[in-house]
Copies of this chain bind each other. A is one copy, B any other.
Amino acid sequence: MKRVALWVTYEGTSFSGYQVQPNGRTVQEEIERAVSRIHKGEQIRIHSSGRTDTGVHARGQVVHFDSMLSIPAERWPKALNACLPDDIRIIEACYVASDFHARYHAVKKEYRYRVLLRQEGDVFRRNTSHHVPYHISVPRMQEAAQTLIGTHDFSSFCAANTSVVDKVRTLFTISIEQDRDELIFKLVGSGFLYNMVRIIVGTLLEIGSGKREVHELAFILSAKDRTHAGKTAPGTGLFLWKVDYNEPIFSELY
């Protein structure tokens, strides 16, 4: 029995999120179905670095599962992609230690959030960005964002309906870059609470538009209360970009 790790990408638009659920198509069930087909129908559970919500995309999701098959690592992507719908693609596979866990061994995660700043929407980016047709000040958001760096109780930036008790997380870096009509938010942290990136981005956009003041962010963070933060930005702009482990498991392309 060998443990296989996969670098998985998906366009989240047509999924009811990552995790298997009674209603709606999910990424997990599609990958489990493909893995099962390669194992002649045997049910095999796959484990991910974490779930993603409806409409949220992944450039660098990581999953693992155990297999009795002796398939060379470089053949797994092609074999699985032949059984997968075209909005999920496996980019790389590798064999990992038998105690590797995609979720519990993750030491760092990067999320990116894409905002489209233009008058009218873009048909080619409508499912992979959040369209904002009014003026946003990037320097205001950059100034406010610095407040969030470090280890904090991020309760104000966590969906109210979560069961997680410990809401302390470490945000290593947060940057906001403009490239023509696009804003890219990059957040790297030890881990993220439910909706944390989307609530941070939603609140920063309210600061950027002038609806809130720059200094409000420190107050919101210290309040430890979701009701003080801004709106949750839509899932369409969010990408799970990269998951890091103590040792790199994929090629340098990852």
Contacts and interface: CB of A to CB of B under 8 A. Distances in A.
Interface of A: 9-11, 57, 77-78, 81, 86-91, 119-124, 126, 128
Nearest to A7: B120
A128 B124 contact: yes
27 contacts: A9-B122, A9-B123, A9-B124, A10-B123, A11-B123, A11-B124, A11-B126, A57-B123, A57-B124, A77-B119, A77-B120, A78-B119, A78-B120, A81-B120, A81-B121, A86-B121, A86-B123, A87-B123, A87-B126, A88-B123, A89-B120, A89-B121, A89-B122, A89-B123, A90-B120, A91-B120, A124-B128
Contacts of A57: 123-124
B126 A86 contact: yes
Nearest to A58: B123
A90 B122 CA distance: 10
A201 to B, nearest CB: 19
